[in-house]
With several copies, the nearest count.
Chain A
Amino acid sequence: MILKIKTFGISRDILGGREVELDMNGTSVGDLRKSLSMRYPQLDKLNSLFIAVNQEYAPDEKVLTAADEIALIPPVSGG
């Protein structure tokens, strides 16, 4: 499945763009994590990486569709 992924903070530097297409294996958020990790091993060095689906933090079990708004959430540092 081909997904469009929004990137923020350091994840944008690692993926190299505001919105990046990724051809992932599997259908869940957990599967997406594995595909991202294979393609962008630098993501594994971050303190944390959450995945937001339709503007909400999503658990690894969540099943994705190509219509979902998917975003990478590296460690936040607001305030």
Chain B
Amino acid sequence: MIEITEHPIEVQKIIQAATSNEAGAVNTFIGNVRNQTSGKKVVRLEYEAYEPMAVSEIQTVIDRASEHWKLTGWAVSHRVGALLPGEIAVVVAVATPHRKESFEACQFIIDSLKQTVPIWKKEFFEDGDQWVSAHP
């Protein structure tokens, strides 16, 4: 299951979508909006996605993970729109027969997602805003 959503992410739903009877281990990563970045107070964030391509790039990441690890289930949800500190931006849940693989596969998926999936984050401070990682 891959989801790009404007609504609050329901963690329990994502975990359940990844879980099956063969799943001995389920690893879940939750990325929350932090209230500061490099010591500067964050007022809110805005996420934007190139949605159809984001979905297909997440699928590519999952396919690559499936070549390395036996995934018995998985689910990825990414929020878009305006988010406040403390809100959930992304959830990745991965199920595997054994625990070590669940950690490795989940970390691979979130790391890859951050590198290749066309989603952008703008941080709003009290005195301005910026697109994250845009400039050196």
Contacts and interface: CB of A to CB of B under 8 A. Distances in A.
A49 to B, nearest CB: 10
Nearest to B121: A77
A47 B52 CA distance: 24
Contacts, number: 78
Interface size class of A (residues with CB under 8 A): 20 to 34
A17 interface: no
Interface size class of B (residues with CB under 8 A): 20 to 34
B118 interface: yes
B56 interface: yes
Interface of A: 6, 8-10, 13, 45-47, 52, 55-57, 71, 73-79
Interface of B: 31, 47-50, 52-54, 56, 78, 89-90, 99, 110, 113-122, 131-136
